[in-house]
Structure 1
Amino acid sequence: MQWSTGWYGSSGFDRLPRGGRPVPGLETAWTINWPARQVRAAGSGPLALAVVGDCGADDQQIQQGLKLVRAKDWRALTRWPGSYLTIARRGEALAVIGDLAGQYPVCWRTDSAGTWWSTSVAVLAALDGAPVDPTALAAHLALGQPDVLGQWSLFRSVSRVPTGHLLLITPQGACIVRYEPVEYEPVNLRDAAPTVRAALSEAVGVRCDGRPVSADLAGLDSTTLACLAAQRGPVTAVTFADARLRDDDLLYAVRTAATVPNLSHHTAPGSSETVYYAGLEDISALPVTDAPNAYVVTASIKKAVLDTAVGHHPEGVHLTGAAGDAVLSAPSAYLADLLREHQYRRAWQHAQAHARLRHTSALTLLRRARPAARTDLAGAWRQAAAELRRPPRPWVPQAERPVAWTPLLATADWMSPDVRDRLASALEVAAELATAPARLMAWSDRQDLARVGADTTGWRQIALAGHDIEVAAPFLDNEVIRACLAVPADQRGTPGRYKPLLGEAFAPTGVLPDFILTRVTKGGFNALAYAGLREHAPVLRDLLGPSSRLAAAGLVTEAPVAAMLQRAATGQPTAQGALHLAVAAEVWLRQLETAPARWEVNSHVATA
């Protein structure tokens, strides 16, 4: 696992990160398992700066970044292309800045001697064996939005930095400071298109640094990345193809590879093992991730793709279109914002168009949106708390429930009354502290990205451990996020065009073939999800049954989970997302019991 850590204190520290390499100029900061080319620094002593990860700044720009550190212009340090961690020291102040999507999360813990910070929450918990916080894990399972409980992490005694904030440590202690606006100044889609194009091109370019490049070649998002990379050199393009999917990803991939120079296309064929939940009977074969990770559910499918990529270029970088949906489009939940702002005519027009696509009525969509339009984030959390204190709801698909700022997932209904009550109390406290944007979509967009970013970080760990290949998700880069989310959700999600922002950005360039820009279909994995639920039901019943760690903590109860698995076995609609979350959390809890040691005794106690 790749991680970074550091110490700030006036007295010595008694631990060192196992295998840690000191960061140049920052004598009490270390990186673990990061290649030297991805750790760069300038300055030393009272003025120092380091970046860890895929940072597009050259050495001169990093040196000039010391002026930004001196001016405490923290946000400017996050505006280089790529995705990376920033560590900056100015006098007695130390700023640790993650990215906007949580691929470089920052957490910390403080005692009387000083403060440890890290990009790994589990590593900081391991300093003294701090246990998992069941209320925080309940929030992870029931709410699916990483920032709801603010600074609460999944472990007791360890705090986390919410997205859009940085960690600032001074002799007075550690605190979080917001560096990113709660909402962006809106930019018209057409005006934003050149900025989106430039940001995405630079994001891909940062990864094309001489390493062999491979890429998913499937939907519109991954195809865009593959074509951008092909402008810079050869790309091994991989399409997962399984007859059970019945989509047209392979058809478009073959046609794209025949049209775009430098794309060498290969197929990763499906098999009886490439289904959801395969391989979970032996979780010791899965790398330990820092948090519950959704990709353990689809590990066999991802392995098939990476096996194909590595077979043609080992030790390279693999581009994925993860988060493309989150930044390039928007769900119809934005209707709530239109209603809130009294844009009734526009809301009605959009509702009619969405209704035609979903074979429902415009009134149905507007009725679903109206409750969220009549409250704010704090009010929504109080409503969720009240619902948690009532008996669990009968299950209906999430798409049929009212739009909500923070939807309660089916997993909330599987928890014991005591856990539901504790989570409700935590939500009420969070509501008192909430500082939220005026628009629902400004909140939910950021939370979607944070969730995808955390999962992608786990996938990166899995890919490095199993294939020695780095996974890169350019749509999660800071500047790509900023450029895309500045476009209002009702323009990104307008029902008349499929991902109009991407089309507007690349239509005049020739980077993408015209038949790709006019594509309106999208592949899905439902068939493989249901196949996995049926074929691996015994394993899932064992994972979430009487011996379940989640069950021991009251985070799931046996009867509703068994009923949901029975629904899946008979092919009925199922709370797939909730099951994925529960299985990933159960696997993670079991892995923590055998996680490798991350610290060693410091035989030479040092001072900061």
Structure 2
Amino acid sequence: MRWSAGWHGSAGSDRRPAGGRTVPGLREVWTCGWPEARVRAVGDGPVALAVIGECGADDAQLRDALPVVRAEGWRALTRWPGSYLVIARSGETLAVIGDLAGQHPVYYRTDAAGTWWSTAASALAALDGAPVDVTALAAHLAFGQPDVLAERSLFRDVQRVPGGHLLLVGPGGVAVEPYEPAAYAPVGLREQAPVVRAALAEAVAARIDDRPVSADLAGLDSTTLACLAAQRGPVAAVTFADERLRDDDLAFAARTAATVPGLAHHPVPGAPGTVYYAGLDDLPGLPLTDAPNAYVVTASIKRAVLDTVAGNTPGPGVHFTGAAGDAVLSAPSSYLADLLRERRHRRAWQHALGHARLRHTSSFAVLSRARPASRVDLAGAWWQTAAELRRPVRDWIPQAQRPLAWTPLLASADWMTPDVRGLLADAVDEAAGALSDAPARLSDWSDRQDLARVGANTSGWRALALAGHGIELAAPFLDNEVIRACLAVPADERGAPGQYKPLLDAAFTGTGVLPGFVLARSTKGGFNALAYAGLRDNAPVLRELLGPSSHLAALGLVTEQPVADALARAAAGQPTAQGALHLVVAAEVWLRQLAAAPATWWEEVSGRVAAA
């Protein structure tokens, strides 16, 4: 696994990352698993700057940024294209800055001697064998929003730097400070469209060098990236084309490849084993990740795609995916709650009519679902959630039929023991009481949480691509500058029901990058058929994973009967809580991997035995 770490203390540390390489110019900062080309550093006396990952700044731009480091203008160091970690030293102050989407997270722990920081919480836990934090894992399963218990990692005594914040370590101790506003100043869609186009083009260009290039070619988001990449050279474009999907991804992909020079199209046929939950009886065959990863559920599908890429490129290269395109280019209907809160009743009614037509329901039903969330702020919503956790569990109904909420309580919360639900309720109450600088709009909060969740999961997909094929996964929609450009457009403009992804249409119409028929597309592929096929075909493995021997069950995070009922419904082809099942299966796999094969994270430096 790729990770970075550093030590800041009055004396040197007795350990260092196993196999780690020191970052030039930064004392006691190391990287593990990163290729040398993705670790760059510049310095001038007491001022130093390093970027780790895919950073579009060249060496001259990095050197020109040293005065910015000296002046501690931290946010400016996050404005280059790409996705990367920043480590900057100004005198005795060290700043560690992750990205907005959590692909480069930052964790830390302190003691009397100093502070360790790392991009891997598991590594910091291994310093003294810190166990999993059951309450934090419960929050992960119950909410799917990383910033609810913002500063708690999944390990006890390991702190997390929340999204949009940075870690400062210096003579005065440790501080966590925001570098990103809770919400962006709104910019109209038409005005912002060229900014979005430029940000995406720069994000793609930042990844293209002498490596072979491949890309998903399926929905609007991945097609946009594939076409941008094709402007710079040949692209091996792949479409997962299992006949059970019954969507039009393949037809659009073939037509796009026939129209856009530089795209060589390669369909990926499905097979009996390319379904959800395949391969979970072989946990050593899955890469260990720092947190539960949703892509363990779809690993067989992703491997089929990567096999096709490997078979049609001269060697390991960079593969573009449209992950997070939905999160930044459109918006869920939860923004209706914001319109109601702001008393924009005419616009709320107009949009409710459109959403009602799409869902074959009434506009009154749409607005009534949004109204409760419009009457409460984030802290109040958390207090309501805590109260709900203390009540008896609910009967299951699809999430889309429940009222909109700032932090929706997922079905997985109803599978926990009362004791764990009580601990989680107490933690949510505490978080609500400590909340500061919260966004006023539900859409601003949920957009950031969606991105953080997708970013964490994409890191797991990246680990799968690297471990099995040596392929570097690129997800430009998760880049800082792309996020900023897109989310500056208000949610009610990005998610307007009359047009599918109007921001993308405004950004690329008339540019020649995307064919007109792509921009006119209003359909989206889905994997429901493969999800239910996987639930049916792999039911015995899932029952074993989540049955009496379950690690989650031992912690009180699932109880056997509700999960068995959900699996039985799924095996019979009936609607079930698919998202909750994804979360608990991924968490169970992760816990079993941690227990079965602990990684060796550290090595001894001076005499004492290092943590394993």
Instruction: State the TM-score, normalizing by the size of structure 1.
Output: 0.99
By how many angstroms is 1:158 displaced?
0.3
Which string of whole-angstrom CA distances, capped at 9 and with x for unpartnered residues, describes residues 26-54 of structure 1? 02101111111111111055210000000
Mapped partners of 1:304, 1:370: distance in 2: 44
Cα contact 1:26–1:44 (8 A) shared by 2:
no
- In the alignment, is residue 345 of structure 1 matched against residue 340 of structure 2? no
By how many angstroms is 1:547 displaced?
0.3
Poorly superposed stretches of 4+, deviation over 3 Å: none
Moved more, 158-167 or 44-53: 44-53
What pairs with 1:327-342 in structure 2 (closer than 5 Å)?
A: 327-342=328-343
AA at the equivalent of 2:599: P
AA at the equivalent of 1:600: E
What pairs with 1:31-180 in structure 2 (closer than 5 Å)?
A: 31-43=31-43, 45-180=45-180
Match of 1:384?
385
Aligned residue for 1:218, secondary structure, equals coil
Mapped partners of 1:85, 1:554: distance in 2: 36
Match of 1:595?
598
Mapped partners of 2:45, 2:108: distance in 1: 22
Mapped partners of 2:294, 2:214: distance in 1: 22
Picking from 485, 488, 499, the partner of 2:487 is: 485
Match of 2:403?
402
Mapped partners of 2:312, 2:478: distance in 1: 26
Match of 1:472?
474
What pairs with 1:335-484 in structure 2 (closer than 5 Å)?
A: 335-435=336-436, 436-484=438-486
Aligned residue for 2:373, secondary structure, equals helix
What pairs with 1:288-303 in structure 2 (closer than 5 Å)?
A: 288-303=288-303
Aligned residue for 1:62, secondary structure, equals helix
Which string of whole-angstrom CA distances, capped at 9 and with x for unpartnered residues, describes residues 364-408 of structure 1? 110010000000000000000000000000000000000000000
Match of 2:545?
543
Which string of whole-angstrom CA distances, capped at 9 and with x for unpartnered residues, describes residues 205-254 of structure 1? 01111211000000000000000000000000000000100000000000
Match of 2:500?
498
Match of 2:562?
560
Aligned residue for 2:225, secondary structure, equals helix
Aligned residue for 1:27, secondary structure, equals coil
Cα contact 1:108–1:160 (8 A) shared by 2:
yes
AA at the equivalent of 2:191: D
Cα contact 1:121–1:155 (8 A) shared by 2:
yes
Mapped partners of 2:398, 2:116: distance in 1: 43
Match of 1:580?
582
Mapped partners of 2:53, 2:600: distance in 1: 24
Aligned residue for 2:153, secondary structure, equals coil
Moved more, 45-54 or 476-485: 45-54
Which string of whole-angstrom CA distances, capped at 9 and with x for unpartnered residues, describes residues 264-315 of structure 1? 1101110000000000011111110010000000000000001100112221
Mapped partners of 1:48, 1:596: distance in 2: 31
By how many angstroms is 1:562 displaced?
0.4
Cα contact 2:546–2:588 (8 A) shared by 1:
yes
AA at the equivalent of 1:588: W
Match of 1:207?
207
Mapped partners of 2:424, 2:105: distance in 1: 23
What pairs with 1:166-245 in structure 2 (closer than 5 Å)?
A: 166-245=166-245
Mapped partners of 2:390, 2:318: distance in 1: 47
Aligned residue for 2:328, secondary structure, equals helix
Moved more, 36-45 or 557-566: 36-45
Mapped partners of 2:524, 2:118: distance in 1: 38
Cα contact 2:44–2:66 (8 A) shared by 1:
no
Cα contact 1:288–1:595 (8 A) shared by 2:
no
Match of 1:509?
511
Aligned residue for 1:330, secondary structure, equals coil
AA at the equivalent of 2:410: L
Moved more, 196-205 or 44-53: 44-53
What pairs with 1:254-269 in structure 2 (closer than 5 Å)?
A: 254-269=254-269
Which string of whole-angstrom CA distances, capped at 9 and with x for unpartnered residues, describes residues 341-364 of structure 1? 000010000000110011011111
AA at the equivalent of 1:563: D
AA at the equivalent of 1:603: S
By how many angstroms is 1:321 displaced?
0.1
Mapped partners of 1:212, 1:267: distance in 2: 18
Mapped partners of 2:65, 2:525: distance in 1: 43
Aligned residue for 1:233, secondary structure, equals coil
Mapped partners of 1:44, 1:574: distance in 2: 59
Cα contact 1:192–1:483 (8 A) shared by 2:
yes
Aligned residue for 1:603, secondary structure, equals coil
Cα contact 2:93–2:168 (8 A) shared by 1:
yes
AA at the equivalent of 1:328: L
Mapped partners of 1:113, 1:512: distance in 2: 56
Aligned residue for 2:203, secondary structure, equals helix
Mapped partners of 1:89, 1:274: distance in 2: 47
Mapped partners of 1:587, 1:175: distance in 2: 34
AA at the equivalent of 1:303: R
- 1:60 to 1:604, Cα distance in 2 relative to 1, 3 A: farther
What pairs with 1:290-329 in structure 2 (closer than 5 Å)?
A: 290-313=290-313, 314-329=315-330
Mapped partners of 2:73, 2:600: distance in 1: 37
Identity rate, percent: 73
Which string of whole-angstrom CA distances, capped at 9 and with x for unpartnered residues, describes residues 117-164 of structure 1? 000011111111110000000000001000001101100010000000
AA at the equivalent of 2:545: L
Mapped partners of 1:54, 1:63: distance in 2: 17
Aligned residue for 2:307, secondary structure, equals helix
Mapped partners of 1:122, 1:307: distance in 2: 30
Cα contact 1:241–1:267 (8 A) shared by 2:
yes
Match of 1:527?
529
Moved more, 279-288 or 310-319: 310-319
Which string of whole-angstrom CA distances, capped at 9 and with x for unpartnered residues, describes residues 72-112 of structure 1? 11000000000100000001100000000000000001111
By how many angstroms is 1:595 displaced?
2.6
Cα contact 1:12–1:113 (8 A) shared by 2:
no
By how many angstroms is 1:604 displaced?
7.3
Mapped partners of 1:331, 1:51: distance in 2: 34
Cα contact 1:26–1:45 (8 A) shared by 2:
no
Cα contact 1:136–1:149 (8 A) shared by 2:
yes
By how many angstroms is 1:12 displaced?
2.4
Cα contact 1:335–1:366 (8 A) shared by 2:
yes
Mapped partners of 1:302, 1:361: distance in 2: 39
AA at the equivalent of 1:602: V
Cα contact 1:139–1:423 (8 A) shared by 2:
yes
Mapped partners of 2:295, 2:342: distance in 1: 38
Match of 1:283?
283
Aligned residue for 2:544, secondary structure, equals helix
- Count of matched residue positions in the alignment of Structure 1 and Structure 2: 605
